[in-house]
Structure formats: C-alpha cells, structure tokens
Amino acid sequence: MYRGTNRWHIKIARHHGLFMATGWVIDHPAHARLLAPIMRELSSTNDVIIACDRKEVRSMIENCDGHLPRRKTVWVPRPVGKGRWRKAWKRSRISKKALKTVSKVVSIGAPIELRVSPRKAKRIYITDTEVNHLAHSLATPTDIIIPTHFIDSLAGPLMKKKSNFHRIDGLHGHIHLHPHMRPSSVSNPPKVMLRRLLGDGIHDSDEIEKIPENWLDGLNLSYADENEVKGNPWDLISKISEMDGVITQSVTLASEAVLLGVPTLLVSKAKRGFLDRLVSEGYPLFIAKENDDSILAAWLAGIHLTDALNEPDWPNAKSELINLIKD
C-alpha cells in the first residue's frame, strides 16, 4: 500500500492515524505472560513484537495460540555475556528499523527499544525490579509504570528520570494470574517443582544462592530449570498449581507460585519490593538467603498447613495497567 512513499506521505499517514501501531518488547518469558492479557485487549494487527532470541521466549512465541495474539515478530539478540556490547549494537539497529513507524513502545525493563523508537512515540517502561540499574540508566521513557510497593531507594537512577511516573497496586502476577487455592491434601512424598537459573542475567551473580542437594531429598521433583522447560511453556503456571510446593532461585517464579497459594522456598539474596509485600501479606513464601536448614524446615511444615491459607485480596492491577497503556 505504501510502496514508493516518501517522508511527506508518511507524515500524512501518521496524521490520519494510519500508523498507530505499538511495539511490544518481550525480553523474558515472564514478559510474555504479563503482556498476553494486555495485548489481547489492546493490540492491533499492525503491531510488532520485538522478541529476545532466548530459548524459552522463542518457545512461547511459537506456541502462543490462545495466549498471545500473533503479530509480526522481529527477533533480537540478548545483550549479555561475551560480546554483549556488539549484541546490544546489533539489537539497536534491528529494533530501530522494526519500530520506525510505531507511535508507542511498551517495554518491561528493556531499554534499547526505548532509545531507538521514533522521537515522538510514547515510550512506556514497566519495571518491578529495583536493582536493574543498568537498564534504568539507559532507558529513555516518556512514562514509567512501577508498583506501589516499589522500593524507590533501591532503584538508583530510575527515580531521577524526567518522565511521567505512574504507580499500580499489585504484582505483575496479579495481571496475568487468577486467584487459586491449591488442593487441601498433600501427596506423599510431596510433589515439588524445582527451577534453577543459569545465572547469566545482569544481576544474577549478586543474588543467586546454590540450592543444597540434600534439601531435595525425599521429594517427588518436577524440573523446570531455565531453558529446560519441557512441553508447552504456557502450561508452566497450570503445572505449578498442581504442586504441593516449589523450590526456586527465580524471584519471578516464586512470586507467581505463592500467588497461586503454593508454598515456595526461594533460595536467593534478592531484594525486591514485591517480595516484601508477599511476606507482609502472609503469602506462603520462605526465603533462604543462605544455607539455613531452619528455613527449609519451616517451608516443609508450611506445605502441610493447607487449611491455614485464606483466599487473598486480588488487586485489579490488570485494569490499571491497561488504562495507563491505552491512554
């Protein structure tokens, strides 16, 4: 339709709303789960997905039917590890070309696409990770969406941005999950999901703690290690809900599991506002910041206290986020 157009024609098209497309950045499997209900509500057929080429993200995009709307997808490298600056430069070139006609970009903790999007585009930066300082420094958003429990003092450069700040009540899990009460009986031995991380994330090295092998004794384990999830990755949440417990190094998976009512042992030194909120609101989250057998014992006891869990209040974070993005 626009073959042979020049800049003047593009300006006219934009003026008449013909290029009101949105770029959706999916940098992590959790981002796909978070954005799925938002995109089902707001995404149009001329939108574009910028997807990070990592194994779990690719699997989620390929198996997205019924979850995430199928849109033109552009794959970009993950700028970590050896050659990360070269990967970042390549990603910026690819993303700039893919986003050149969008009027809005929605990114969860990924700064590159915000930097290369059109100057007049609305650039929305969503984060619940206070310590993601490099991304916070590089991001150039017009709007920043953070949760009410966000610990501003941990966020460093983010809070100094001259952007429009918006706060929503709830965790990211409140947006894409539904209230769920796990079965009242516990299997013998307990069915437990284990998720271990590769440790190549930007801030993983400062947070990840090794899970002692003897902590896994006597458990009926299902494995969901990073990049090793079997089957359709969209089924991970339903698999978690079938478990008696979860052991993980992932703060994201831990938050999702406890929102589903599953007692979770998080082995990590991570500091997050959403972890503090979950603990303060009585969710079954047990955090081992070191090799502490007393935390393991408390979690094992918690697995059997199913009748002590009440259905929690569920903030309407989904509607809040939709309203902020569509405005």
The CATH number, out of the four listed (3.40.50.10860, 3.80.10.10, 3.30.230.70, 3.40.50.2000), of the domain defined by the range 7-176+317-326: 3.40.50.2000
Instruction: Give the C-alpha separation, 61 to 28, whole Å.
Output: 11
Thinking of the domain 191-308, which architecture would CATH place it in? 3-Layer(aba) Sandwich (3.40)
Buried b (16+ CB within 10 A) or exposed e, 123-147: bbbbbbbbbbbebbeebebbbbbbb
Fold agreement (7-176+317-326, 191-308): yes
- Residue 199 has what pLDDT? 78
Tell me the pLDDT of the chain averaged across its residues.
91
For the chain, the structural domain boundaries read 7-176+317-326, 191-308
- Residue 308 has what pLDDT? 61
- Residue 144 has what pLDDT? 98
Instruction: Give the C-alpha separation, 95 to 113, whole Å.
Output: 6
Pick out the chain residues at pLDDT < 50. Answer: 1-5, 9-10, 13, 16-18
- Residue 306 has what pLDDT? 67
Q: Are the beta carbons of 71 and 49 closer than 8 angstroms?
A: yes
At 180-202, the pLDDT tens digits run 766 678 999 999 999 999 877 66
- Residue 181 has what pLDDT? 66
- Residue 286 has what pLDDT? 98
Instruction: Give the C-alpha separation, 52 to 20, whole Å.
Output: 23
- Residue 104 has what pLDDT? 98
Residues in the chain: 327
- Residue 1 has what pLDDT? 41
pTM score, whole prediction: 0.91
